[in-house]
Amino acid sequence: MTHPAILETKEAFGETTLIADPARIVDLCRHLKDSEKYIRLSGITAVDLHPSEPRFEVIYHLHSLDLNKRLRLKCRLSGAQPEIDSATGVWRSANWYEREVFDMFGITFRNHPNLVRILMPIDWEGHPLRKDYPVHGYKYSYPSE
Amino acid sequence: MKHSFEDHTSTIPAVQEIPATPAAPRRMTLNMGPQHPSTHGVLRIVLELEGETIISAAPDIGFLHTGIEKEFEQKNWQQAVTLTDRVDYLANLSNNLVYALAVEKLLQIEIPPRAQWTRVMMTELSRLNSHLVWLGTHALDIGAMTMFFYCFREREDILRIFEMFSGQRMMTSYIRIGGLALEPPRGWQQVVGKFIKAFPSKVDEYEELLNANPIWTRRTKGVGFISLEDMLDLGVTGPMLRGAGLNWDIRKSEPYSSYEKFDFKVPVETTNDVWSRYRVRIQEMRESAKIITQALEGMPDGPWQADAPHVVLPEREKMKTQMEALIYHFKIVTEGFRVPAGEAYQCIEAPRGEIGYYVVSDGTSKPYRVHMRTPSFGNLQGLPKMLEGIMIADSIAALGSMDFVLGDTDR
């Protein structure tokens, strides 16, 4: 499989991982869906590598029913302003998956139709799955009774 | 009887759709949930209605979000098994299994056949458990109340089996990294054998109650259509796809935990409505019963834990007599075991569809990141498409046929 957006290919435990160029991710997704038969997007998630840089990895799990194969795409994003193009135009299922990643990691998906929090309350501050987010949340000051 | 009922109702004309105009606005927004009995949890759906027809539906989730993925990063590898139970509380053993398989992939340890077969048997029992809860509550929603009592009668037997194996009825944590939590209890063959021998006749009872029930058939046949292409594009998995004619089951296509050694069929229906999903799940129950029978009859002998002293706790006897076993015990209990750095994705066929765990290790005794691709989350994304254009009363049947668990959705 060759595509200009693929920077590196890795094999481990029988799973293939493609490291992709985040600038051309939509191109690559469309190619994989149309030409390589990866018609299902199983999920999108992210990993926070804080404090190293590039800080975030956005991970796409693809699945092809015809070939009975799975594929992992990985994009590395800088921590300063994590942004990547949305894959909603390729698979509609990306909609909620990307909202979850945005909610949990604060990664912005450009051209997403409705990029709002999905699991946390709409007015929540911070992104809970970032490594610098404390597990008990930020301290609250409770009004005295 | 059935025919006369059909003839009578077929003369009632269908409700005409009336287009909304500024002069006669007929649209209204209806809030359904989060405390609605037929959403089976805390799901809120904002429905846009025109008369009684649903124009659009917007699910609002997150009410049950408990930060399980964050919690994973605080526990060590073995402790985190207890969190997997709480993700999907109706298919807890499936979640135990997929987590254990993913970590075992990173650890590269071999699981002995007896443990694998017990895992298969337990996850199939948990599939029966989940389908029984689904059938009982779904039929209750549609108006067949008796089903609830019939299904929960058998579910009780399954929970007793879980309790016998693990000491817990629901949060079993029975499947651990490296094998099982405990050796299968003495006399389990009789208990499981008795249950599984009687079970097919119980499924006959359910079918007898529902198949010719005119209310059930009229409320399920032709209701809740969503095309296969839409479902694949929207991330729907599991019995929903098999009810639409797609023969895809991860137990067959990517066998895990020695499923390839069992003989079972993947039930497929083509009508793609609430009825076909009901048919698929009923037949899946029969197939699961077959798998459990095979596991019961062919259960291999041997160890129930992997030969990996750095991962599984030593036997009590050895711990008290051998220095090395004591050291391993001390190390595992105090700091947990280390998992080599790497990443793995493991998916299995859960009662609701594809569960996939993406596990990242940085070489320490705690997971660096665990992501759960849960079937309910993916399935719910198909909900707006399925509800579009159907009657509001049918939305209850359509919702139920999806069989989602909100704990699984929100995690």
pLDDT above 70 covers a percentage of chain B that reads 93
Q: What is the mean pLDDT of chain B?
A: 87
Q: What is the mean pLDDT of chain A?
A: 87
pLDDT class for B95, splitting at 50, 70, 90?
A: very high
Instruction: Give pLDDT tens digits for B52-88.
Output: 888 888 888 888 888 899 989 988 898 899 999 888 8
pLDDT reading at B1 higher than 70:
no
Range 35-74 of B in CB contact (< 8 A) with A? 61-62, 65, 67, 69-71, 73-74
ipTM: 0.90
What is the pLDDT at residue B7? 46
Closest-CA distance, A4 to chain B, in angstroms, reads 25
pLDDT above 90 covers a percentage of chain B that reads 37
pLDDT reading at A144 higher than 60:
no
Burial of B200 (0-12, 13-18, 19+ CB in 10 A): middle
Kindly state the average pLDDT of the residues B377-386: 90
Instruction: Give pLDDT tens digits for B106-154.
Output: 999 989 999 999 999 999 999 999 999 999 999 888 888 888 999 999 9
pLDDT reading at B359 higher than 90:
yes
pLDDT reading at B8 higher than 60:
no
pLDDT reading at B307 higher than 60:
yes
Residue B166 one-letter amino acid = S
What is the pLDDT at residue B23? 60
3-state secondary structure A96-121: HHHHHHHHHHCCEEECCCCCCCCCCC
Residue numbers in A near B388 (CB within 8 A): none
Q: If one looks up domain A6-110 in CATH, what number appears? A: 3.30.460.80
B406 touches B61 (CB < 8 A): yes
Closest CA to B409 of B382, B372, B384: B372
Closest CA to A44 of B346, B358, B359: B358
B366 touches B76 (CB < 8 A): yes
Kindly state the average pLDDT of the residues B98-108: 92
pLDDT class for B2, splitting at 50, 70, 90?
A: very low
Asked if B227 reaches chain A (Cβ–Cβ under 8 Å), the answer is no
- Give me the helix-helix angle, B188-210 and B113-142, nearest 10°: 30
Please state the domain extents for chain A.
6-110
What is the pLDDT at residue A141? 52
Residue numbers in B near A41 (CB within 8 A): 235
Inspect the interface and report whether the beta carbons of A119 and B65 lie closer than 8 Å. yes
- The number of C-alpha atoms within 13 Å of A90 and in the hemisphere containing its C-beta is 24
Instruction: Give pLDDT tens digits for B208-251.
Output: 888 888 888 888 888 888 899 899 999 899 899 999 989 999 99
Residue numbers in A near B371 (CB within 8 A): 43, 45, 59
What is the pLDDT at residue A139? 59
Inspect the interface and report whether the beta carbons of A120 and B65 lie closer than 8 Å. yes
pLDDT reading at B280 higher than 90:
yes
Tokens of B358: 């993406």
pLDDT reading at B4 higher than 80:
no
Domains of chain B (ranges, CATH numbers)? 2-60 (no CATH), 68-405 (1.10.645.10)
What is the pLDDT at residue B14? 43
pLDDT reading at A136 higher than 80:
no
B295 touches B168 (CB < 8 A): no
Residue B258 CA: distances (Å) to CA of B113, B206, B261, B336: 8, 31, 6, 28
Kindly state the average pLDDT of the residues A35-53: 89
